[in-house]
């Protein structure tokens, strides 16, 4: 089946989303070594919290990058993994915004950045491509 430009946009966007999450994870890790954090009287707890935050961002980043690779290869598991990861991360960010009553632009922008790939993954043309690719792979 010929790949449409929309399919390319979907996996490139998913790959970029994974890179953004990985970049944020690395940024949070670098914050643990900053002079401001180490000068804090309660530095151990602050650094521990930042390490947990880096892990919370890093795991979905890795899964998103693996899913983007599956999307690039035209695999159904890439589509399913992308869908599950996007829904999960969107749910976590939405819960955080609602629970913390944090209506900051950066928090909302990060949450919305998972809505666009989610909508694109659910478009009929994209679903048909990955679901028909899986039946083609199963029959051969």
Kindly state whether residue 139 falls inside one of the protein's structural domains: no
Kindly state whether residue 120 falls inside one of the protein's structural domains: yes
Kindly state whether residue 100 falls inside one of the protein's structural domains: yes
* Structural domains in the chain (count): 1
Domain carrying residue 89: 5-134
Residues ≥6 apart with Cβ < 8 Å to 123? 6
Quote the distance between the C-alpha of residue 140 and its chain's center.
32
Q: Rounded CA gap, 52 and 47, in Å?
A: 9
Which tens digits make up the pLDDT trace of 69-126?
Answer: 999 999 999 999 999 999 998 998 888 888 877 677 777 887 888 899 999 999 999 9
- CB crowding 109-122: b at 16 or more within 10 Å, else e: ebbebbeebeebbe
Which tens digits make up the pLDDT trace of 58-83?
Answer: 999 999 999 999 999 999 999 999 99
Kindly state whether residue 140 falls inside one of the protein's structural domains: no
């Amino acid at each position: 089946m010929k790949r449409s430009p929309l399919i390319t946009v979907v996996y490139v966007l998913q790959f970029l989303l994974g890179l953004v999450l990985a970049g944020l994870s690395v940024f949070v890790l670098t914050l643990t070594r900053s002079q401001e954090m180490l000068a804090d009287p309660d530095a151990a707890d602050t650094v521990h919290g930042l390490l947990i935050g880096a892990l919370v961002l890093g795991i979905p980043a890795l899964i998103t990058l693996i899913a983007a690779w599956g999307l690039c290869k035209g695999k159904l598991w890439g589509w399913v993994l992308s869908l599950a990861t996007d829904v999960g991360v969107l749910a976590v960010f939405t819960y955080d915004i609602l629970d913390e009553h944090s209506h900051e632009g950066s928090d909302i922008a990060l949450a919305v950045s998972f809505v666009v790939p989610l909508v694109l993954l659910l478009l009929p043309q994209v679903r048909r491509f990955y679901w028909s690719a899986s039946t083609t792979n199963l029959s051969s």
